[in-house]
Chain A
Amino acid sequence: MKEFMMIFRSEVNESFGPSPEQMQSNIQHWMDWIGGIAAQGKLAGANRLSFEGKTLKPNNVIADGPYAELKEIIGGYVIVKATNLDEAMQLAEGCPILSHGGNVEVRSVLSVKG
């Protein structure tokens, strides 16, 4: 089994203001999708990223926000266990971000320890 990272990106949408019910149902979709991967015993880790963050650039320049000059932001990541990239791509199917105009980038994880 190899590890693959799924990176979730979506466009910055400043006018996005979901109702509490929409938020709740959105969280539920994410949890159901991740729960489905976990039920197969293929989840290695998952984290959401908050909007708090800064970007450090050369010469000690600090930019506010994690997404200062990007059109897309990374909303979170999941690490899954799969035998190959095709299987990891299958696991990515049904990711809730796809129905909100976002995308999932699936990358093979290489260990830094030799």
Chain B
Amino acid sequence: MNEKELIPHLFKTEYRKIISVLCKLFGILHIEIAEDITNDTFLLASETWGLKGIPENPTAWLYTVAKNRTKDYFKRHKTFSEKIVVEIKLNQPQTEAIEVDLSPKNITDSQLQMIFTICNPIIPAEAQIGLALRILCGFGIDEIAEAFLTNKETINKRLFRAKEKLRTANITIELPSEKDVNARLETVLTTVYLLFNEGYHSSTQSTHLRKELCLEAMRLNYFLIENETTNKPIVNALMALMCFHASRFEARTNQVGEPILYEEQDKNLWNNQLIEKGNYYLIESAKGQEISKYHLEASIAYWHCTKTETANKWLYILQLYNKLLLIDYSPMVALNRTFALSKVDGKQVAIIEAEKLPLKDNHLYYSLLGHLYTDIDNAKAMENFEIALKLAMTNADKSTITKNLHDLKAKKTTANN
């Protein structure tokens, strides 16, 4: 790796470690100083390494610079030092000077604590994801802006407000207590899953970026699994779910990035290694008493990853959707449940149930009805697809529906012949 490849790589792996350790040391009030020092460290690396070549141990080099930059900062900013040094020394009374502890243990602890600090319900979900991408995943502002289909200025403002909120609330960077861990983990997992979905369903055209977002979500989740305090069944359930979804990444879009429906996917493109990982984490997730929505979603995804159609497959899927609706209603789950019902009890039964759903503003609702009416009453199928087309917002959705309409018309022609 030359320095042009190495620095972005180290930025992804080391940025979060250095910034977490510094944030932990200074406290959330001074998060921007931690950011400045970390950014400075990487800036110096790109300048120096470009001129003098890559040092023997680049990571150690970064850590030494980060330590020295911190010391310099304290020397240069007397007032800051006087205020904060007192606070820091309370925490580490044995040392005279400010010591930045970049030992593996402190790095791990600090990162884990930062995850809980950032995934805090006092800041909006979107800002949590942005901040997580910036601080925990080492994403650039421009990458975050692209992921959210917005501009750098908006993201900068959003991150600024989020940090301001954390500062005002003076959030302590620490692990929640044993009794609070489960409740707080739920917020963390929500953010991780939103991050994953941002990548999985994002309308950004960059397939590379979308995959990166998914991988980062999985990496954060894996970090929680590696740590004993947070290695709970629910965390494994989410990991299984993401592995199963990610296994179909290559199969679910064509070369120009348009979605390919599940039933039309080339199953040979499914990633078996990820499916096996998913199976492993699903088993791990079963080691507790609780069944969370992630358990149910992971089990549904498990069945979707089975390549052969067994007699009971859709029956199991339907039951899982029934249970999921009881704990976490969403229009998407209601539609998927009705689709599963059509596989178990037939289209006629599913149509009756579908007509009861109060989702008359949802293009997916009409697409579902279109599918259910296909071969039962093709005129009605056509009607429903037409409404779906009017309601659809994205080009990808529109092209899928147009294809459905096209297929239906082709059927009609064949029938007339």
Using a CB–CB cutoff of 8 Å, the interface residues on chain A facing chain B are 28, 31-32, 34-36, 38-41, 43, 46
Is B358 in contact with A32, judged by CB distance below 8 angstroms?
no
A-B CB contacts (within 8 Å), total count = 43
Asked if B172 is at the interface of the complex by the 8 Å CB criterion, the answer is: no
Q: How far is the CB of A46 from chain B (nearest CB, A)?
A: 7
Assuming the contacts A31-B319, A35-B321, asked whether A41 and B326 have C-beta atoms less than 8 A apart, the reply is no
- The contact string, 1 if C-beta is below 8 Å from chain A, for chain B 288-315, is 0000000000000000000000000001
Asked if B325 is at the interface of the complex by the 8 Å CB criterion, the answer is: yes
Assuming the contacts A32-B341, A36-B353, asked whether A41 and B329 have C-beta atoms less than 8 A apart, the reply is yes
Q: Which single residue of chain B is at the shortest CB-CB distance from A43?
A: B326
Q: Point out which of A28, A31, A38 has the most chain B C-beta atoms below 10 A from its C-beta.
A: A38
Q: Give the 7 A-B CB pairs with smallest separation, nearest first.
A: A35-B322, A38-B325, A39-B334, A31-B322, A39-B337, A40-B356, A41-B329
The DSSP consensus for interface residues of chain A is helix
Q: How far is the CB of A99 from chain B (nearest CB, A)?
A: 16
Is B329 in contact with A43, judged by CB distance below 8 angstroms?
yes
Other-chain residue from B318, B321, B341, B358 in contact with A40 (beta carbon distance below 8 A): B358
Q: Which single residue of chain A is at the shortest CB-CB distance from B333?
A: A39
Asked if B403 is at the interface of the complex by the 8 Å CB criterion, the answer is: no
Q: How far is the CB of A70 from chain B (nearest CB, A)?
A: 29
Asked if B357 is at the interface of the complex by the 8 Å CB criterion, the answer is: yes
Asked if B287 is at the interface of the complex by the 8 Å CB criterion, the answer is: no
Is A35 in contact with B337, judged by CB distance below 8 angstroms?
yes
Assuming the contacts A32-B341, A46-B326, asked whether A39 and B319 have C-beta atoms less than 8 A apart, the reply is no
Other-chain residue from B319, B329, B334 in contact with A28 (beta carbon distance below 8 A): B319
Using a CB–CB cutoff of 8 Å, the interface residues on chain B facing chain A are 315, 318-319, 321-323, 325-326, 329, 333-334, 337-338, 341, 353, 356-358
Q: How far is the CB of A90 from chain B (nearest CB, A)?
A: 9
Residues of A close to B315: CB separation below 8 A: 28
Is B358 in contact with A41, judged by CB distance below 8 angstroms?
yes
List 12 contacting pairs A-B, 8 Å CB cutoff, sorted by A: A32-B341, A35-B318, A36-B353, A38-B322, A38-B325, A39-B337, A39-B356, A40-B357, A40-B358, A41-B334, A43-B325, A46-B326
Is A39 in contact with B357, judged by CB distance below 8 angstroms?
yes
Q: Point out which of A39, A41, A43 has the most chain B C-beta atoms below 10 A from its C-beta.
A: A39
Knowing that A32-B322, A35-B322, A40-B358 are A-B contacts, what are 12 other residue pairs whose CB atoms are under 8 Å apart, sorted by A's residue number?
A28-B319, A31-B322, A32-B341, A34-B322, A35-B321, A35-B325, A38-B326, A39-B337, A39-B356, A39-B357, A40-B357, A41-B358
Is A39 in contact with B325, judged by CB distance below 8 angstroms?
yes
Residues of B close to A28: CB separation below 8 A: 315, 319
Assuming the contacts A41-B329, A43-B329, asked whether A36 and B356 have C-beta atoms less than 8 A apart, the reply is yes
Residues of B close to A31: CB separation below 8 A: 319, 322-323
Q: Which single residue of chain A is at the shortest CB-CB distance from B338?
A: A39
Is A40 in contact with B334, judged by CB distance below 8 angstroms?
yes
Q: How far is the CB of B369 from chain A (nearest CB, A)?
A: 14
Residues of B close to A40: CB separation below 8 A: 334, 356-358
Residues of B close to A43: CB separation below 8 A: 325-326, 329
Q: Which single residue of chain A is at the shortest CB-CB distance from B354?
A: A39
Is B326 in contact with A39, judged by CB distance below 8 angstroms?
no
A39 to B357, CA, bound (A): 7
Residues of B close to A36: CB separation below 8 A: 353, 356
